[in-house]
Amino acid sequence: MQKFQETLQKILPVNGEVMEQTQERLDDLTKPLGSLGVMECIAKKIAGITNVVKPGLPKKTCILMAGDHGVVAEGVSAYPSEVTPQMVMNFISGGAAMNVLSRHVGAELLIVDMGVGSDLPDMPLLIKKKVAYGTNNMCSGPAMSREQAVEAIENGIEVAEEVILKGAGLIGIGEMGIGNTTPSTAIISLYSGKKVEEVVGRGTGVDDERLNIKINAIKRAVEINKPDIADPIDVLSKVGGYEIAGLTGGIIACGTHRVPVVIDGFISGAAAVIAVALKTEVKDYLIASHLSEEPGHRAMLDYLGLKPMLHMNMRLGEGTGAALAMDIIDASLKILNEMATFSEAGVSEKVEEE
SS3 126: strand
Contact 316, 264 (CB under 8 A): no
Q: 12 or 33: whose CB is closer to a copy of itself?
A: 33
Contact 63, 108 (CB under 8 A): no
Q: How far is the CB of 71 from a copy of itself (least distance, A)?
A: 15
Q: How far is the CB of 161 from a copy of itself (least distance, A)?
A: 29
20-22-26 Cα angle (round to 5): 115
Compute the distance between CA of residue 275 and CA of residue 254 in angstroms, rounded to an integer.
11
**Catalytic, out of 161, 175, 243, 318:** 318
Compute the distance between CA of residue 82 and CA of residue 210 in angstroms, rounded to an integer.
18
Separation of first and last alpha carbons in the chain: 60
In DSSP terms, which residues pair with 262 in a beta bridge? 172, 287
Q: How far is the CB of 55 from a copy of itself (least distance, A)?
A: 15
Q: 224 or 312: whose CB is closer to a copy of itself?
A: 312
Q: 52 or 328: whose CB is closer to a copy of itself?
A: 328
Q: Residue count of the chain, please give it.
A: 354
Q: How far is the CB of 347 from a copy of itself (least distance, A)?
A: 4
Q: How far is the CB of 11 from a copy of itself (least distance, A)?
A: 28
Q: 13 or 121: whose CB is closer to a copy of itself?
A: 121
Compute the distance between CA of residue 270 and CA of residue 272 in angstroms, rounded to an integer.
5
How buried is residue 135: exposed, middle or buried, by Cβ count under 10 Å (0-12/13-18/19+)? buried
Residue among 161, 170, 49 nearest 108 (CA): 170
Q: 209 or 223: whose CB is closer to a copy of itself?
A: 209
In DSSP terms, which residues pair with 170 in a beta bridge? 60
Q: How far is the CB of 276 from a copy of itself (least distance, A)?
A: 22
Q: Which residues sit at the interface with a copy of itself, rule CB under 8 A? A: 29-39, 77-80, 82-83, 86-87, 89-90, 93, 95-97, 99-101, 103-105, 204-207, 209-210, 293, 307-316, 320, 324, 327-328, 330-331, 334-335, 338-340, 344-348, 350-351, 353
Whole-Å CA distances, 60 to 78, 179, 244, 280: 33, 28, 21, 25
Q: 4 or 91: whose CB is closer to a copy of itself?
A: 91
103-294-100 Cα angle (round to 5): 10
Q: Assess whether 318 carries a catalytic annotation.
A: yes
Whole-Å CA distances, 214 to 14, 65, 171, 188, 209: 39, 23, 32, 15, 9
The catalytic residues are 318
